[in-house]
Amino acid sequence: DAKTTQPPSMDCAEGRAANLPCNHSTISGNEYVYWYRQIHSQGPQYIIHGLKNNETNEMASLIITEDRKSSTLILPHATLRDTAVYYCIVRGYETGANNLFFGTGTRLTVIP
């Protein structure tokens, strides 16, 4: 699976949009982009995933560039409860999971 690069930390004002970038320049055609988050000491929580097209759900939007080498997770109206570590993961479609790689993520702090 392609590895990802994320900034180690970001701040965002409460009520503003939080835009979290992820670089995955070695991604291949059948690899999905996933986003998870981990609120302090809890188990990671699935947010969203996509293959080529932009995706939106009740939690967030995922924007994937046309060349698929980078993506951005958007939390449209950040709240204090969105303070967490956000992981960008790239994973292939093939059966198996022994190369699933979480990395160290981006620590997002939402400021009142």
Partner 1 sequence: NAGVTQTPKFQVLKTGQSMTLQCAQDMNHNSMYWYRQDPGMGLRLIYYSASEGTTDKGEVPNGYNVSRLNKREFSLRLESAAPSQTSVYFCASSEAAIGGAEQYFGPGTRLTVT
Footprint of partner 1 on this chain (CB under 8 A)? 30-32, 34, 36, 41-46, 49, 51, 87, 91-105
Token pair in block for residue 111: 């400021």
The alpha carbons of the chain give a radius of gyration, in whole angstroms, of 13
Please say which residue, 30 or 65, places its beta carbon nearer to partner 1.
Answer: 30
- Dump the DSSP string for 41-106: TSPPEEEEEESSS-EE-SS-EEEE-TTSSEEEEEETT--GGG-EEEEEEEEESSS--TT------E
Closest separation between CB of residue 57 and partner 1, Å? 11
Closest separation between CB of residue 15 and partner 1, Å? 28
Please say which residue, 46 or 76, places its beta carbon nearer to partner 1.
Answer: 46
Please say which residue, 10 or 32, places its beta carbon nearer to partner 1.
Answer: 32
